[in-house]
Structure formats: C-alpha cells, structure tokens
Amino acid sequence: MREAAFVKQNREKWQQIDHETKGRNIPAETLADNFIELTDDLSYARTFYPKSQTVRYLNQLAGRYFINIYQYRKREKGRFLRFWTQEVPLIIYRRRKFLLYSFIAMLVGVLLGIFSLEQDSSFASLILGPGYVNQTLENIESGDPMAIYKSSDEAPMFFGIATNNIRVAFFAFIMGIFCSVFTVYILFSNGVMLGVFQYLFFKKGLLFTSAISIWLHGTLEISAIIIAGGAGMILGNSLLFPGTFSRSLSLQRATKDAVKIVVALIPVFITAAFIESYLTRLTEMPVYFNLTIIGLSALFIIWYFIYYPYRLNKKLNGTTEKNQVVSKP
C-alpha cells in the first residue's frame, strides 16, 4: 500500500485519537483500544515508510497516549512498609556473606587492639589520643569511670554522635567502590579502637562496669557500622567479581542493594545516638536497666538482620537457592 493511501485510510481515526488525548476523563478501555490501534499502525509505518513524516507523527501520538495510560496506573500501596518488611530483609539474606566478612574485619581489629595494648601500655594514647585517655584515667581515679559520657549536654551530644556515626557508616559504604580496601580499613581501625577502649577498662578491673555502659548504645551502633561495612563490600565485590554482567551493570545492581541497606540503618544510628546521649550517662541506674536495653538491642539486631531474613527467604523462596524467585541475585 502506498503511503498516501495508508494515510487517507487512517487519517480520520488518528484525528479522533489525537482529539481524545486532550480529554481528561477517557475510559480506560478506550485508552487501551486506541493505544493498540496506534502501535499497530506505527509498526506498519516503520516497516514500509521508515523515514516518513507519518512515522514521526504516529510515534508522537503513541507517546502521548502512553503517558495517559501511565497516569491511570494505580499507585503502589504499602511501598514504605514493604521496604522494611521484605526488600531490606531479602537483600540482607542474599548478601549475608558480606556482612560476615565485615564482622570478621572488625573482630580482627578488636583482637589486634587488645593484643597491642597488652604489649605496650602507651598504645592506648596512640589510638585514642592522650587527652581522651588521660581524662578517662582521671574519671576512673575519681570513682566515675563513665563520666566521659556526661561531658556535654544531651541535645548537642545527640546531634553530634548521630551525625558522626552516619558519616562513618557512609564512608564505610562509599569507600567500598575502591575494591573494598578502604571499607576494610575503616572497619579494622574502628575495631582496634573498640578493643583498646574495652581492654583499657579490663586492665583497671572495670570490664563489666564499662561494658554495661558502652554496649548500652554500642550494641546498635557497632552492629550498624558492621552492616554498613558489609554494604561497602557489596560494592567492591561487584567490581572485582562481576560474574556474567559487565562491571558497570554489576556495580549498578550492587549499588541499588547497598543503598537500601544503608538507608535502613539510619533509624538504628539515630536510636543508638539517643541512647548514648540520654541514657548512657545515667550510670547510677540499676544494672538490670542497662542489661534490659542491651538485651533488647541485641535481640532486634539478631532478629531483623539474621533470623527474619532467613525465615522470610524460606517462606517466599523455599529452602534452596536455585528455587529463589523473589530475591534473585
């Protein structure tokens, strides 16, 4: 069929469809029928008149109709809730080995910090700073070992700690782009500081006293840093071992998962900062008060980041990796 005959045959239909695109209350059935008509005509025109004005016109018209159809799409309900109850847990389960690697990196740092302080008592000043160590020793001598947490007002302390923790987590995550090297360094160095700080109190016979104060907020804070480090390792692994994907596509997929993990950690960091600023300073509170918060924090981390992802994956995908449907790698 000649192009002129094709246009003459369908002109009135296209004009009618073009007119309907300007309306606001087009029935969904009409939208669908017209869109099918347009795409059929567009396909025909592209085949027989590939560089004609007819193709350009039909392409523009089909584009406007697609926008109208898209506007009719119902908004996805429960997206926020599903992010926390499905998306993040399934990503955590699928990427769980990187969280383990992150934990190991920090644990090695903790053990090295303990070993180094045992070998050289001046190592604490080197890692924590002489001013911080001297103030801590003075607090121990005065009978209030945890007075360091009372050194500033609650609100400024809260914002400062929350900002700092989120910054550390962000760097642990984003530095994964350098093949995970800097992520491992951040985890390792924080592990060394943690090991030195705890062992310093151990050598003074105050391990339990320090632990029930430090881990009051540290259970959430340290766990979140480890998980953020795992997110950074996801990035690094995507570049080192892209598998069957190109490195750019592998990085794109990994970034999507890693960012969701880091976003999910923000409430954890804020909660940890609140506990450190407002509760850790209450050193006169009964021991069971601290142990209850530490226990609840640990239960949350274990349940949401370990047990629940496993149970959810098993429920949705079965017990074998090869049968996974929802959480494809």
Residue 11 Cα to chain centre, angstroms: 53
Q: What pLDDT shows up at residue 323?
A: 43
Alpha carbon distance 33, 19 (integer Å) = 15
- pLDDT < 70: residue spans in the chain: 20-32, 65-77, 151, 318-329
Q: What pLDDT shows up at residue 144?
A: 82
For the chain, the first-to-last Cα distance in angstroms comes to 49
Alpha carbon distance 47, 6 (integer Å) = 13
* Contact between 60 and 41 (Cβ < 8 Å): no
DSSP, collapsed to helix, strand or coil, labels residue 286 as: coil
Return the sign of the alpha-carbon dihedral for residues 215, 218, 220, 225: negative
Residues in the chain: 329
pLDDT in tens, 298-324: 999 999 999 999 999 888 876 544 444
Where does residue 216 rank: exposed (0-12), middle (13-18), buried (19+ CB within 10 A)?
buried
**Residue-by-residue DSSP string for 150-203:** GSS-HHHHHHHHHHHHHHHHHHHHHGGGTTTHHHHHHHHHHHHHHHHHHHHHHH
Q: What pLDDT shows up at residue 276?
A: 87
Q: What pLDDT shows up at residue 22?
A: 63
Q: What pLDDT shows up at residue 326?
A: 43
Q: What pLDDT shows up at residue 31?
A: 67
Q: What pLDDT shows up at residue 324?
A: 45
* 91-94, long-range: CB < 8 A, 24+ apart: 91/257, 91/260, 91/261, 91/327, 92/227, 92/261, 92/305, 92/309, 93/309, 93/310, 93/312, 93/313, 93/327, 94/257, 94/313, 94/327, 94/329
Q: What pLDDT shows up at residue 25?
A: 59
3-state secondary structure 125-140: HHHHCHHHHHHHHHHH
pLDDT in tens, 214-257: 899 999 999 999 999 999 999 999 988 887 778 888 888 899 99
* Nearest alpha carbon to residue 283 among 139, 80, 169, 175: 139
Residue located via tokens 């300007």: 22
Read off the pTM.
Answer: 0.72
Q: Which two tokens stand for residue 190?
A: 């924080």
Q: What pLDDT shows up at residue 268?
A: 95
* Nearest alpha carbon to residue 312 among 322, 325, 329: 325
* Contact between 75 and 157 (Cβ < 8 Å): no
Report, in this order, helix, strand and coil percent for the chain, each rounded to 5.
80, 0, 20
Q: From the CA atom positions of the chain, what is the Rg in Å?
A: 29
